[in-house]
Amino acid sequence: MSRARIPYRAVTAIQGGVFILFCLIVLLPMLTPTAARAQTQTNESERAIPVPNPSADLWREVRQREGIVAGRSQVAGVDSGTLINPYGETWRNFRMQQLIPYSGYLLAGVLLLLTLFYFILGKIKVDAGLGDRKLFRYTLYERTIHWFIASVFLFLALTGLILLYGRPLLIPLIGQEGFSLLASASKEGHNLFGPVFAVALLLIFFRFVRRNIYQKGDLTWLLKGGGIIGKRHVPSNFFNMGEKSMFWLLALVGVVIVGSGLVLVFPVFGQARITMELAHVSHAVTTVLMIAVILGHIYIGSVGMEGALDGMTTGYCDLNWAREHHAQWAERCEQEGEVVSESEVSSQRGEAAGGPAAPSGMQESGQ
């Protein structure tokens, strides 16, 4: 009796089915708990409280963008416990984005205004013309301390402007190496002569303070622009309102300039870095303001007004000039007989080796 033979394909299909059935019966129960456990772990991780990252917390404290946080350090110093000063970037941005451009606009505007003033009005002449009669105005000591503070201020102004504007203006002209040498020399010279300016400021203040007390009539001089408004000269005393205002500006603003400069030059008095930054800002702002005022002073004393410079170069001023610009003082000098001729001035210069001798009663000329 012969056996029926099962086709090969049928046998293969039966074997595949048996294998799949085995996997479903054996492996499915094993996979189901794993999936359930994975889902459970996922749900638990979603509900878990996050653990702080020590590294993230460290660098968050290092950045300190919300203020200065001081820690502990074995290094002795004012800022030793502060890793980063966040206000340093604020100071840098102010210096580059506000201080340098706006102060440059101010100084350029003053120079442009003085140029226009000269070409429109020209040099202010003495209406009666310069004569041969003189009044003694400044002693040798007064002229000496004037040129002393003037020379020191101009040197400090020049070196300070190099440090403030030199990078964008001078590097394209002289290169980085040339500017590096010039900036280094300017910094050392500025630091050296800064305290000297403080001494000169004290000498000027104590010598001229009595003559710069405001008096009756000074406000009228100011309202009439020193004679620019109207056709008549405004009478004034030894110093007019403009000169007195410049004196007090020099005295008051000069205190800020000197104080902030000393903080920057001598950082050994317990100044923190933020104090140095504030000192730099106040020093730069007040100095630029003072330079703008001094530019006007230089203009008047050089090409702006006839006869204005004589007093500080020879010690004597022209009588007609004094009558027009300091009428009250000139009238008092004439009444006291203090008018001298050009020949007398020349003879006095020859007699006094240290400079022109002052007529009697004029060495301490007041208001």
At residue 3, the pLDDT reads: 47
Is 147 inside a domain boundary? yes
Domain of 175: which CATH number? 1.20.950.20
139 in a domain, yes or no? yes
- 43, part of any domain: no
Does 345 fall in a domain? yes
**DSSP H or E stretch at residue 244:** helix 241-265
- Is there a domain that residue 48 lies in? no
SS (H, E, C) 153-206: HHHHHHHHHHHHHHHHHHHHHHHHHHHHHHHHHHHHHHHHHHHHHHHHHHHHHH
User: According to the model, what pLDDT value does residue 134 have?
Assistant: 93
Domain assignment present for 23: no
Q: What integer pLDDT is reported at residue 216 of this predicted model?
A: 82
Are 133 and 340 in contact by the 8 Å Cβ rule? The answer is: yes
Give the span between the Cα atoms of 300 and 199, in whole angstroms: 26
The pTM is what?
A: 0.74
Does residue 40 form part of some domain?
Answer: no
Report the alpha-carbon distance of residue 277 to residue 275 in Å, rounded: 5
Pairwise CA distance, residues 119 & 205, whole Å: 35
> Which single residue is written with the structure tokens 């580059």?
96
Please state, as a whole number, how many other Cβ atoms lie within 10 Å of the Cβ of residue 2.
4
User: Vertex 232, ends 228 and 233: CA angle to 5°?
Assistant: 70
> Which residues of the chain form beta strands (DSSP E)?
133-136, 316-318, 339-341
| Separation between Cα atoms, residue 364 and residue 361, nearest integer Å | 7
Cα–Cα distance for residue pair 307/321, rounded to 1 Å: 7
Domain extent, residue 313, equals 87-351
DSSP letter at 81? Answer: T
**Pick from 148, 151, 173: nearest CA to 162:** 173
- pLDDT at site 356: 47
pLDDT tens series, the chain, 367 aa: 444 454 545 545 555 555 555 555 555 555 455 544 555 555 555 555 565 666 676 666 666 555 565 656 655 666 666 667 777 788 888 999 999 999 999 999 999 999 998 998 888 888 888 888 999 999 999 999 999 999 999 999 999 999 999 988 999 999 999 999 999 999 999 999 999 999 999 999 999 999 999 988 788 877 776 666 555 677 788 998 889 999 999 999 999 999 999 999 987 777 888 888 899 999 999 999 999 999 999 999 888 889 999 999 999 999 999 998 898 999 999 999 999 988 888 877 665 544 444 554 444 555 5
Are the C-beta atoms of 312 and 301 separated by less than 8 Å?
A: yes
Q: Would you state the pLDDT for residue 35?
A: 47
Q: How many residues does the chain have?
A: 367
Per-residue CA distances from 26 to 17, 208, 294 (Å): 14, 111, 100
Closest to 316 measured CA to CA, from 178, 151, 138, 184 = 138
What are the residues whose beta carbons fall under 8 Å from the beta carbon of 194, sequence distance 6 or more? 156, 258, 261, 262, 265
Q: Would you say residue 18 lies in a domain? A: no
The C-alpha atoms of residue 269 and residue 242 are separated, in whole angstroms, by 38
Note whether 341 and 166 are within 8 A (CB): no
Alpha carbon separation from 250 to 149, 164, 168, 201, 291 (Å, rounded): 11, 21, 29, 8, 10
Q: How far apart are CA 128 and CA 197, in angstroms?
A: 39
**What is the C-alpha to C-alpha distance for residues 134 and 320, in angstroms, rounded to an integer?**
8
Cα–Cα distance, 281 to 103 (Å, whole number): 12
* Total domains, the chain: 1
What pLDDT score was predicted for residue 15?
A: 56
